[in-house]
Amino acid sequence: MRDKRTTKLLIAVFLIVGLIPIVGALEATPNTIVAASDSSAADKASAAYVCDGVNDHVEIQAALNALPSSGGVVLLTSGTYNCAGIIAPRASSTLMGEGESTTFLKFTNDGRINVDREYITVDGFHIQGSGYSSGVKWLGVMNIRASHAKIHNITGTADASIQAVYLLVHDPTVYAPTLEDVEFINCQAVDTGTYGFLHNAWGSTNMVIKNVRYDNCAAINCGKYGQFNPWITGFDFAELNDMDGLRVTNCLAEGTTESGFHFEFDPKVTNAVLENCVSRNNGQKAFPTKAYNANDMSTHYFGCGYYAPNCDVTFINCTAEGNSMNGFYTTNGGKLYNCVEKDTGIGRTDFSYRVPAGYYSVPSRSVNPSTVMENCTSINSRAFGLQVDLANNVKIRNFHLIDPVGYNGKGSSLGGTNGQFDNSEVSIYASGNRVETLVWAKENVNTVFSGQIVSDAAKPFVIEGYRTQNVLVKDMEIVSRTL
């Protein structure tokens, strides 16, 4: 049985061949059907190409090659397609299945999908890749290397022999212009040994990827079943590439080896927005067992819900829950509105070399404002709920710090752990009795505090430090939790 998309496709065919009069001079879009070896008899009867279960990419590619230069649609009916080679749709074409739970493409022998021409759409099937050779390991099961691509309704997985399920990469040997205008809608990477969604750029020209959109996509258990490397993330939006104009809405990252949503430290990221996203239970690998050393990669660790250093990125209504190191890591341009962090560091007990924080911004002083948080909440963080240090021009407004477990008796650190918290404003509403101090301000200069603390803690609000000066506390209320 075909789904609604297929029904619409067949209706379009009837319209095209003239069974129903058409007004206007619209050019017909040819359509070709491919059936799998295990497709139904009816599907095989309607197909122009019927696969035999071996090297099925050959029939699929033949169907794509048979489309006119103007493009068209190739439909893969329900069934399993065993592909031991590359599928490369032509420009302006659509490769469509009958749904992620009914149309399956299984790639072996370095097989994959290469979206190397403009205006390609892939829609409605499941991809699986395994057993890749070293010569192609830096690629993905699906590679998007040309602009104006639409990736819709795809579920994918891969073992640890290849770098990603979905790779969006500027490769100048394939496509020299700027890579831009790519969208992922209703796509998933599930139970992988590698990255879910990865952006990258090779070479030295046109390193910026522009105008990429994700909606209702998910990366689940990336790195749970083997590991391509120790740094596997769910979504990595900036690896070696710069990124301009990213929109991510209603997306989920869960159970990854490292961070759920990730931007590397060095790329330039501008005009990025993540809205209504959820990142939970990420940072599954163990904490380092020795102190940080820049030259010792075993001491490097992310483990964040959202990792976005030095990025012009805005988070709106995003949630981080149960991530191992930080819920939100944002510095030098991060803006957070109506975000919630809960249970950061849960399940971790040894903080000898890593101390979790729900919201982390260190250092953050190269732009003005450097970090903005409005109407954000930290709930039950297993160490600091909020840690902002080596910071200047920070705006924290209506922040709710709820019952942190704390570290060394402190529920938050504003300049406390590294020194310097200058020219900033903090409006904070803190509560809880599990720490001696809920709000710890140290080495502050020209900073204004307001809000409310509800606690029976011994020292609920501490301001200290040899360089501390010109700190104003106004409209601040401290209330006993029991009296």
Give, in order, the Cα–Cα distances in Å from 401 to each of 47, 94, 147, 206, 288: 61, 49, 44, 43, 27
State the 10-residue block means of pLDDT for the chain, 483 residues long: 43 37 36 97 97 99 96 97 98 97 98 99 98 97 99 99 99 98 99 99 96 99 96 98 99 99 98 99 94 92 97 99 98 98 95 96 95 99 98 98 98 95 98 97 98 96 97 96 71
Q: Quick one: which H or E segment has residue 7?
A: helix 4-17
Instruction: Round to whole Å and give the CA distance between 358 and 344.
Output: 5
Q: Is the separation of the CB atoms in 283 and 258 below 8 Å?
A: yes
Q: Is the separation of the CB atoms in 171 and 202 below 8 Å?
A: yes
Q: Is the separation of the CB atoms in 232 and 195 below 8 Å?
A: yes
- The pLDDT of residue 482: 77
Please choose, from the candidates 172, 161, 171, 170, the residue with its C-alpha nearest in 3D space to the C-alpha of residue 195. Answer: 161
- The pLDDT of residue 402: 99
Instruction: Round to whole Å and give the CA distance between 435 and 418.
Output: 20
- The pLDDT of residue 483: 59
Q: Is the separation of the CB atoms in 418 and 394 below 8 Å?
A: no
Query: Rounded to 5 degrees, what angle do the CA atoms 232, 233, 235 make?
Result: 145
Q: Is the separation of the CB atoms in 252 and 276 below 8 Å?
A: no
Alpha-carbon torsion angle 411, 417, 419, 420, nearest 10: -40
Residue 342 neighbours by CB under 8 Å, 6+ apart:
319, 320, 321, 322, 327, 358, 378, 379, 380, 381
